[in-house]
Amino acid sequence: MRKTDYKVDKIKDYIINYTPSRTELVKFIATNLNGVSKQYFENNRRNFRGYYATNIQMMRNTGNIASKDGKYFVTKQGLVNENSLYNKPYKEQVKDLKANLDRQINWKNSQIRNLRDENKELTIRLKEMETTLYHIHALSK
């Protein structure tokens, strides 16, 4: 595991060492990393209800942390991940990008097929209209 002074690495160490509840994790982040006094935190606990929620959810969405029975822990992926908890490992990112690219290619191919089919239908209708106009013109003479 990389050792830096980044907040996310300190959060990772804290989760590994203490398997905290959400309240304990938020308290650690607010008081130890963001300079909020413990007394202020305790007196204004309700004000910290959504504190760091987006970041924690991002760590969960990448699969680097999870919770069980109200306690957070770092997953196997999070332990081996040399990036931060906010990112998936490079191999996972490459897999996701390939899957995304495959979806885009399939969508574009289906759009091309649809346009070709539409072109065939319009060409047939155009020929029918030309034939009809030819007959109308021939009858009008």
* pLDDT, tens digit (0-9, with 9 covering 90-100), for 75-120: 999 998 877 888 888 888 899 899 999 999 999 999 999 999 999 9
This prediction's pTM = 0.66
Range of the domain at 140: 89-141
In the predicted model, what is the mean pLDDT of residues 126-137? Answer: 93
Where a domain ends, among 46, 69, 87? 87
Both 138 and 105 in one domain: the answer is: yes
Q: DSSP 3-state assignment of 137?
A: helix
Supply 93's token pair: 């990112």
Q: Which residues contact 1 (CB under 8 A, 6 or more apart)?
A: 9, 12, 79, 82
What is the domain count for the chain?
2
DSSP state of 125: H
DSSP for 29-97, please give it. IIIIIS---HHHHHHTGGGGTTTTHHHHHHHHHTTSEEEETTEEEE-HHHHH-SS-TTS--HHHHHHHH
Q: How many other C-beta atoms can be found within 10 angstroms of the C-beta atom of residue 53?
A: 12
Do 82 and 24 share a structural domain? yes
Shared-domain flag, residues 16 and 28? yes
CB 85 within 8 A of CB 11: yes
pLDDT confidence of residue 133? 92
Q: How far apart are CA 9 and CA 7, in angstroms?
A: 5
Check whether residue 95 and residue 67 sit in a common domain: no
User: Are 82 and 93 contained in the same domain?
Assistant: no
Please report the pLDDT score of residue 110 as a whole number: 95
Mean pLDDT score across all residues of the chain? 91
Confidence of residue 36 (pLDDT cuts 50, 70, 90): very high
65 - beta bridge partners?
Answer: 74
> Is 1 inside any structural domain?
no
